[in-house]
Amino acid sequence: MSYELGKWTRRAAITLAAGAVALGTSWAQAQTTFRVVMHSDLKIIDPVWTTAYIVRNHGYMIYDTLLSVDEKLQIKPQMVDKWEVGPDNLSYAFTLRDGLEFHDGKPVTTADVIASIKRWATRDPMGQLLMPKVKDIIAVDAKTFRVDLKEPSPLLMNAFSKPSQPIFIMPERVAKTDAFQQIKPEDAIGSGPFMFVKEEWKPGDKTVYIKNPKYKPRSEPASGMSGGKIAKVDRVEWVAMSDQQTAVNALINGEIDMIESPQHDLFPLMEKSGKVDLVNTNPWGNQYIFRFNQKHPPFDNPKIRQAMLYAFNQKDFLDAVIGDPKYYKVCKAFFMCDTPFASTKGWDDKLESNFDKAKALLKEAGYDGTPVVLMHSTDLYVLTNLAPVAKSLMERAGLKVDMQSMDWSSLVARRAKKEPPSQGGWNAFLTSSAAVDIVDPAAHAYINASCDKAWFGWACDPGMEELRAKFVSEVDPVKQKAIAEAIQVRASEIPTHIFVGQWYAPIARGKNISGNVTSPVVVFWNVEKKK
């Protein structure tokens, strides 16, 4: 372990020395560099092409959003200065604020905004629900655009402000890239508080961002994803360091400044050192997800998927990764516990590891022994132990499981493949979502059942889509809740995924670091580093 730490330290020293020679010693000394170990290595830079959180976090570094939510999840303007709603609630006019400029020096215009909205809506589940309700999006002038709806819907403002997979505004020429094709690294140009240094991007080593000197933050204080995005450090380095013990040692020794997702069983070591603060910036928590691929056997059969609802239990998964009940919650509410749509209807008899029931369903479904290719992420500690638990429970129910191990970035790339498992595809994998992304049926990506337009796994069910359409058209909260409950009952009958436990995790940062905002996404504006 000490050898690995020493190796990383020598490499960092060489890199810093080279930078000082190239840019001048006085500059190197004056620059404030913030080094952080993120939950994953960055190998993809297009936040529309994938929903991976590491790519979303990259998006927040370099892009900006039209609207956002504060730390109370209230909708606030961001790139937008003001908006006006027509008297019939069918027309929304948005005016951009002054001073918006892309990193290449070109001003942000409504042409950029409209192209970005359309590309986002092609892939995003909420965007796919929204666009059929949109009559037109019109550029009134270079700073004002108008969205005309076919019918009143609360979906528009929620879609424009959601924290994960938001509408990141790209230059029009970049936003016209096919949404199913990745943008090029040289086109990773936004208007946000930091700029991507593509020349220093080395997957497996580090990702570098520098302060955008021309960024004009809002005047309001930073709150959640909203307010003044003030870059208080000159340079941010995402350092690839997959071994958690090595990362913790580096943090204690001051060689890095923060760990985004520290390993729970290492909390006592960090606390004992007296050099680390554990700070929970996401009080809403997260949810573990087991995702089916419905395009191929055996999970193209809903009864076989339903059998897994009976085979699984949440505690086994949570104990295997989180361990301490202080940081997890067993909960059968489909839309999370303690939320407006919380309910367990349709799920009370499930997630109890009832293997007799699971075996009976497999027999009824005519399961023929087809192996399940279960992708196993090995380099993210918050995911690593999940697949082995799933494998054990699936086998006890009677499935044959072929667990294939790979790093998270490889899993993210492979999950996009629609080929059969025998040709490089897959049957199942596990991931995690921030709670705020799945408490609303409109935003919940996993219940999108629009077949080839759905999230990876390509859930396909007209009944679910009909219920989702009713939900986003309903403005009465009481009726909305009833529809949400019908959605979760439908999900117990034709499962799109299995939710296998709520969990919570603080960030770990050095004592000289402050300013991290309360937010469902770890962001780096407002962060300060004392010398």
pLDDT digits (tens, 9 = 90+) for 122-133: 999 889 989 999
Query: What gap in Å lies between CA 342 and CA 335, rounded to an integer?
Result: 5
Tell whether omega for the bond before 506 is within 30 degrees of 0, i.e. cis.
no
Q: Position 500: which residue type?
A: V
Q: What token pair was written down for 347?
A: 């799920």
Phi-psi region of 393 (alpha: psi -120 to 50; beta: other; left: phi over 0): alpha
Dmax over CA atoms of the chain, in Å, equals 73
How many alpha carbons fall within 13 Å on the CB side of residue 104? 12
Query: What is the end-to-end Cα distance of the chain in Å, rounded?
Result: 28
Q: What is the pLDDT of residue 20?
A: 38
Q: What token pair was written down for 326?
A: 């202080």
Q: What is the pLDDT of residue 340?
A: 86
Q: Are 526 and 516 in contact (CB under 8 A)?
A: yes
Beta strand segments in 307-365, E: 328-329
Instruction: For strands 528-529 and 513-514, give the pairing.
Output: antiparallel
For residue 139, the SS3 value is strand
Predicted confidence band of residue 29 (pLDDT cuts 50, 70, 90): very low
pLDDT in tens, 134-154: 999 999 999 999 999 998 888
Tell me if 67-175 shares its fold with 286-503.
Answer: no
Is pLDDT above 70 for 457?
A: yes
Q: Are 529 and 233 in contact (CB under 8 A)?
A: yes
Stretch 214-243: mean pLDDT? 95
Determine what percent of the chain is predicted with pLDDT higher than 70: 94
Is pLDDT above 60 for 349?
A: yes
pLDDT in tens, 61-70: 999 999 999 9
Q: Which helix (H) or strand (E) holds 486?
A: helix 477-493
Q: Are 468 and 453 in contact (CB under 8 A)?
A: no
Paired with 276 in beta bridges are 510
DSSP 13-37: HHHHHHHHHHH-HHHHHH--EEEEE
Q: Are 485 and 343 in contact (CB under 8 A)?
A: yes
Closest C-alpha among 2, 37, 31 to residue 16: 31
Query: What gap in Å lies between CA 40 and CA 19, rounded to an integer?
Result: 25
Closest C-alpha among 475, 394, 384 to residue 432: 384
Query: What gap in Å lies between CA 101 and CA 496, rounded to an integer?
Result: 41
Q: What is the pLDDT of residue 500?
A: 97
Closest C-alpha among 80, 47, 23 to residue 210: 23
Give 55's DSSP letter: H
Q: Which helix (H) or strand (E) holds 187?
A: none
How many alpha carbons fall within 13 Å on the CB side of residue 168? 27
pLDDT in tens, 391-401: 999 999 999 99
Please identify which residue in the block is written with the tokens 């992708």: 375
Q: How many residues does the chain have?
A: 531
Q: Position 9: which residue type?
A: T
- Alpha-carbon distance values, 203 to 5, 206, 208, 357 (Å): 19, 6, 11, 45
Using CB atoms within 10 A of its CB, is residue 227 exposed (0-12), middle (13-18) or buried (19+)? buried
Given strand 134-139, what is the order of strands in its sheet? 80-85, 91-96, 144-149, 134-139
For residue 163, the SS3 value is coil
Q: What is the pLDDT of residue 16?
A: 36
Q: Which helix (H) or strand (E) holds 404?
A: strand 401-406
pLDDT in tens, 72-100: 889 999 999 999 999 889 999 999 999 99
Mean model confidence pLDDT for the chain? 92
Is pLDDT above 50 for 193?
A: yes
| Cβ atoms within 10 Å, residue 24 | 11
pLDDT in tens, 264-289: 999 999 999 999 999 999 988 999 99
- Alpha-carbon distance values, 490 to 181, 360, 429, 442 (Å): 33, 21, 22, 15
Is pLDDT above 50 for 10?
A: no
| Cβ atoms within 10 Å, residue 1 | 9
Using CB atoms within 10 A of its CB, is residue 403 exposed (0-12), middle (13-18) or buried (19+)? middle
CATH of domain 67-175: 3.90.76.10
Query: What gap in Å lies between CA 466 and CA 487, rounded to an integer?
Result: 10
Return the domain boundaries, the chain: 1-30, 67-175, 286-503
Closest C-alpha among 160, 166, 161 to residue 58: 166
Give 122's DSSP letter: H
Predicted confidence band of residue 30 (pLDDT cuts 50, 70, 90): low
Q: What is the pLDDT of residue 209?
A: 98
Q: What token pair was written down for 313?
A: 């239990």
Is pLDDT above 50 for 521?
A: yes
- Alpha-carbon distance values, 470 to 89, 280, 467, 482 (Å): 18, 36, 5, 11
Stretch 330-339: mean pLDDT? 92
Predicted confidence band of residue 26 (pLDDT cuts 50, 70, 90): very low
Q: Are 135 and 125 in contact (CB under 8 A)?
A: no
DSSP 270-281: HHHHTSEEEE--
| Cβ atoms within 10 Å, residue 90 | 15
CATH of domain 286-503: 3.10.105.10
Q: What is the pLDDT of residue 216?
A: 95
Beta strand segments in 280-371, E: 286-292, 328-329
| Cβ atoms within 10 Å, residue 370 | 16
Q: What is the pLDDT of residue 339?
A: 85
Paired with 429 in beta bridges are 291, 375
